[in-house]
């Protein structure tokens, strides 16, 4: 029997305490949290590169601001829904960056790919713009609403085109696309996301380039 009241052999009571602590930890090993494990798989989506042939060429500059998003979507986790009122996330799967930031990057690249605009960039680069594109990411999730069925990727983005320097909204529209996955594994779900976001990106680029009535920003006032 080990004594820990200061009367252990040699008076080294702290040695006995350490021994008891190690024994207790060994006995509770199965209850300790386990760290590590495999890293999450990272996914990204692609910009749009094909547009209507009659899309006009504009001479104004555009700043694409980062989309506003709710806390449930303002993350690099990939959202899913089993019901309209519940948000969950895929395990061991992440976007390469926060969803709003990724969408902003893809919007900028899509405008560039159109080859119909003089200059487009993020707000952070200090581009002096004729228009700002403000967006709100309202839905960006895989939906499992059909029992036993394949999921669908839903993307819904509200866009506002704001004329500078007056900061007047000249147009506003909500864009949405839903694409059903062809399988239940993650690769098919990501392809569905890519298809849905691609449709929204194309529609926003074409809508934005057609909307302004003062393409050079030199109209009244």
Question: Which residue shows structure tokens 């839905």?
Answer: 139
Q: Per DSSP, what are the bridge partners of residue 142?
A: 80, 153
- Give the dihedral sign, CA 205/206/207/208: positive
pLDDT digits (tens, 9 = 90+) for 1-24: 444 344 444 445 444 444 444 444
Cα dihedral across residues 53, 55, 59, 61: positive or negative:
negative
Q: What is the pLDDT of residues 184-217, one digit of tens each?
A: 999 999 999 999 999 999 999 999 999 875 444 4
Question: Could you tell me the two tokens for 190?
Answer: 């990501």
Per-residue pLDDT, 219: 39
From residue 185, alpha-carbon distances to 78, 86, 146 in Å are: 14, 21, 16
Position 124 confidence tier, pLDDT thresholds 50, 70, 90 = low
149-163 burial, b for 16+ CB within 10 Å, e for fewer? eebbbbbbbbbebbb
> How many helices (H) and strands (E) are present in the chain, helices listed first?
3, 9
């Amino acid at each position: 029997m080990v004594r820990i009241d200061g009367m252990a052999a040699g008076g080294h009571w702290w040695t006995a305490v350490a021994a008891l602590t190690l024994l207790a930890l060994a006995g509770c090993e199965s209850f300790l949290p386990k760290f590590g494990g495999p890293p999450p798989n990272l996914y990204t989506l692609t910009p749009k590169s094909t547009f209507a042939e009659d899309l006009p060429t504009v001479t104004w500059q555009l700043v694409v601001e980062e989309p506003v998003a709710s806390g449930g979507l303002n993350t690099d986790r990939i959202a899913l829904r089993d019901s309209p009122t519940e948000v969950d996330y895929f395990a061991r799967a992440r976007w390469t960056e926060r969803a709003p930031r990724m969408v902003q990057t893809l919007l900028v690249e899509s405008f560039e790919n159109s080859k119909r605009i003089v200059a487009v960039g993020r707000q952070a680069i200090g581009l002096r713009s004729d228009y700002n594109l403000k967006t709100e990411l309202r839905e960006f999730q895989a939906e499992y609403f059909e029992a036993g069925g394949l999921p669908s990727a839903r993307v819904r983005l509200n866009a506002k085109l704001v004329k500078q320097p007056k900061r007047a909204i000249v147009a506003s529209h909500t864009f949405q696309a839903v694409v059903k996955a062809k399988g239940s594994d993650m690769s098919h779900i990501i392809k569905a996301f890519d298809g849905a976001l691609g449709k929204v990106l194309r529609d926003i680029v074409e809508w934005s380039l057609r909307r302004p009535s003062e393409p050079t920003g030199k109209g009244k006032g």
